Structure formats: structure tokens, C-alpha cells
Structure 1
Amino acid sequence: MAVASNPGEIVLLSPLTGEVVALEDVPDAAFATKAVGDGVAILPTGKLVVAPCDGQLVKIFNTNHAFALVNDAGVELIVHIGIETVKLGGQGFTRLAEQGSFVKAGQPVLELDLEFLGANAKSVISPVVLTNADDFAPVANLAVGSVIAGQTPLYTIRKK
């Protein structure tokens, strides 16, 4: 499901339940300066991480702290759970989908142990970024406040 309100527009659904955080407020310079890509971050309150749109899971890191998804319109996304969570060696994460598989928007990809992550990660703030932002118009309609995984529109992407 790629919700489209206008032709050529792709509406990403929130991959996490929680509170939206501006990318500039992420405690990691690569994300805060948008060097990785454009988007927003979420402070998670729910344990499931779902696909924000239909697409292929082109990469799930061995440590399960992040995944990359590409859809049929060429949108390349990274969902990165927490900051410096790669150092946890996979602890706090359970993989629910496999690299290379095709997923539908809202389909579970990871399950989080928020108590463990909250105690051991630098931060659980989780960026959701468009990594090939140069191929698209600036992300628009950024969500604010509370979001629900697989239900709340997070932001809109449109081809240039």
C-alpha cells in the first residue's frame, strides 16, 4: 500500500508507534545534518517496526538495528533504530522479515526490546530517511506529535 493523494506522490506510513522528532534534533550529526538523507525521526513507544511502504528489503543489517527498503518508484529508505545501536551486536532486536523479501506497508520487519534498548543505547530516537533525496522533491507533509506504526502518514515523497 502506497497511499497517494496526488498522482506521483508517495505517502510513507510511520514504521513505529511513538512521538515524531525533527531530524535536526537527532543526537547524531550524520542524521541531524541530513548527510544520510531527509525525513524525520521517531521516539518509539511501541515494539513493532513495520514497513513504511510496499517495497523490497534490500538490506537488513546483521545487527538488526536498521534496514533499507526500495519501492517500485525508486524511493530508497533507511529505517535506523536508535543511535549507536550497532554497538549492541543485535541485542534488543528480533528480525521478523528477511533481506531480499518484498513487504507490504504495515508488515512487521523488526521487534524491539525497548527496555533493553533504552538502558543500553545512546538514544532510541529512530530516523526514517529518504537516502536518495536528490532524486525527489523535498519531503513534505511531515508528521508531528504522536504516530501509530503502519497507520499514521509520516511524510510525502514526490518525483521532481
Structure 2
Amino acid sequence: MRLHWPSTFVVAAGLLLAGCASEPTRIAPGTTAAETLQRLGAPTGRYPLTGGGERLQYSRMPAGYEVTDIDVDASGKVVSVTQVLSEARFGHDIKVDQWRQNDVLAFYGRPYETSRVSSFDGVVWTWRYKAVNERRMLYIYIDPTGVVRRYHTGDDLELDRVRD
């Protein structure tokens, strides 16, 4: 079989560009919501924003480590693109004793898993993320009334358990 290098290169470059086009963090402010949806496809979540805009959420859960929130204003233009699973942001973003379950969903999307622990009356929602290429977990504790009561981070030991 004879390879045609220029054709092979064009196909490879096209695949590379297609991968970049589907990367949520590459959407620039000012892009229209329609262009964003065309480039990225259907979001994993859509949430109304105060003031008439909308959040388009692209989550890589449960297998991935990123959740990207793309906020669109009332005129249909992207105003911000944020990868929200970042240790540097948690202390600023998470509103303990203020956020309700719906606020958590609108910010982080569906969790990787939910669980219960004996030391807390409620449910613990968990997301996977990376910090300097280390696998980590974000745990948000939601009480029976749906209010966020605390959060913390920890190491993701999932692969360690599988290896044992």
C-alpha cells in the first residue's frame, strides 16, 4: 500500500483541529451561543443565569477531570469561560451555608458520585479533578434540607484500590 503523505498530513491536521474545536476552554468571549453549540455540541447542562443569560456546562464526569462553565449573556454572547474544578477557586466559589443543591448543580454539574458518611446527616457529592497532574477529589456536604454545609478536598485513591 502506498501512502500519500500530503493527504495523510491533511487528514491528521483536520483531526487535530477538530479536537481543538471541541475543547470548551477554547471558546472566546464574544462568541455567539449558536457558534458555541455548533462547535461543541450539546452541553451536559443548561442553567438560567440571573439577568436573563444562560450557562452552558460541559462536564467530563464521570471519567474526566474538568467541568467548564460557559456563561452567555441575554444578548446571546459568551461573556466567560471557566474550568471550575480548580483548587485555587474552591474557597472563593463554594458558598457554605448559602448554596443549595441546585446552586451546586448549576456550578459543578452532576457529581462523579454521591455517598453518605456516618459523621454527617446528609449526602456527600464528589467530583474528580487534577491539581498539578495529581488526581484529587472535591467533596461537598449537602444536608437533608438541600443546603451546602461544608466541603473539603482529598486524594483520589480509586486507582490505588483497583491495583491492590
TM-score, normalised with respect to structure 2? 0.26
Higher helix share: 2
TM-score (norm 1): 0.26
Structure with the bigger percentage of strand: 1
Bigger Cα Rg? 2
